[in-house]
Amino acid sequence: MAITPEQATQILQLSVAMFDAAPGVVLGEQMASIVNSGKSIEELAAIMDDTTYFTEGMGYYPNLMTDQQFAEKFLDTLVGDLVSADNKAWVVDELVNWIQASSRGEAIWYAAEILASVPESDPNFGAAAAQFNNKVEVATYYTL
């Protein structure tokens, strides 16, 4: 059984949020295979955050980072300066709570899922949502 178009989009959203890049064919196939085996996107995210792609290959998020450091660095990578410092501080607190309740990968997925659903006209997060959605569109073009 093949993954659904919705699952393909979710895999691309996760890859863009987690790696700040399209997964490419090889990693995309591996991620699709995990989902095709019956795992949810949340489970895929938790699996991917334990891989060397995430901790070593990308060099972004070594395991020695505290949850706070991780959340700050992840959010900076995800939204840059497109979100105010106050809003970023609030999101970092939420991310730390999500991480402590689940995993770093799942927190990334939740953030990606929420950001993708924000209207691009939103005064607080719209510019970041537009940038994220554009990256997912580019990832779709280069991967599918």
CB of 132 closer than 8 Å to CB of 21: no
- The per-residue pLDDT for range 67-123, each reduced to its tens digit, is 999 999 999 999 999 999 999 999 999 999 999 999 999 999 999 999 999 999 999
What's the length of the chain? Answer: 144
Distance in angstroms (rounded) separating the CA atoms of residues 85 and 67: 18
8 A C-beta contact, residue 46 and residue 105: yes
pTM: predicted TM-score of the whole model, two decimal places: 0.93
Chain-wide mean pLDDT for the chain? Answer: 94
